[in-house]
Amino acid sequence: LSVPTVPANSPKNAFELLRNFNSMKKHPSVLARYVRERVPATLLRNLFSRTPIEADDLAILLSALRTSREETPSDFGPDQIEEYLRELLRTRTAETQFAMLSNSE
């Protein structure tokens, strides 16, 4: 199984982001790097302003944030995670999607 590479550009829409998530979800370190390098927190709000993020996709994103925190604690700390969560809460139907997550997610 080949390891995917991080795309050169940020996603243009939610569909592209989710397609990239699905291609990387079996490679947590690559997915975490993709989120850190290509998906700034403010972009999330723009990507999901019209299209709601599904709970499964939200779980993948939260997992990537957790991996980023574990792998690069000096560069990706609580402040960065808070920024992502704040922007996610500003997206469409976010509160509902957070409520649908299990405790482990």
Per-residue pLDDT of the chain (105 residues), as tens digits, is 688 999 999 999 999 999 999 999 999 999 999 999 999 999 999 999 888 888 889 899 999 999 999 999 999 999 999 999 999 888 877 767 777 767 676
Note the pTM of the prediction, 2 decimals: 0.88
Contact 92, 49 (CB under 8 A): yes
Could you tell me which of 24, 32, 31, 21 has the C-alpha nearest to residue 2? 24
